[in-house]
Structure 1
Amino acid sequence: MSRMFAAVLVYEAASSRRGHEPLFEETVTLLAADTAEQAAERARAHAEARETSYHDEDGDTITWSFRHLVDLVEVGDPLGDGAEVYTRHFRDYRAYLAVEPLAS
Structure 2
Amino acid sequence: MVTEKPFVAVVLYESTCDSPDYQTLYREDVVLVYARTEDEAREAVRVRAAGEAGSHRNELGEVITLSVKEVLDVAPALDEDLTRGGDLYSRHFTNFDAYRRFEPLLSEKD
Structure 1 CA distance for aligned equivalents of residues 42 and 34 of structure 2: 10
The two structures, once aligned, show a CA RMSD in angstroms of 1.1
Q: Deviations over 1:40-96 (max 9, x none)?
A: 111111100111211111111000111101111101222144511111101101111
Q: Is the 8 A contact 2:11 2:30 kept in 1?
A: yes
Structure 2 CA distance for aligned equivalents of residues 62 and 90 of structure 1: 33
Q: Percent identity?
A: 33
Question: Alignment length, in residue pairs?
Answer: 104
The residue number in structure 1 matching 2:90 is 87
Structure 1 CA distance for aligned equivalents of residues 15 and 63 of structure 2: 10
Runs of 4+ in 1 over 6 A off after TM superposition: none
Instruction: Spell out the pairing of 1:1-104 with structure 2 (5 A cutoff).
Output: 1-75=3-77, 76-104=79-107
Describe the SS at the equivalent of 2:45: helix
Structure 1 CA distance for aligned equivalents of residues 90 and 4 of structure 2: 21
Q: Which runs of 5+ in 1 are unaligned?
A: none
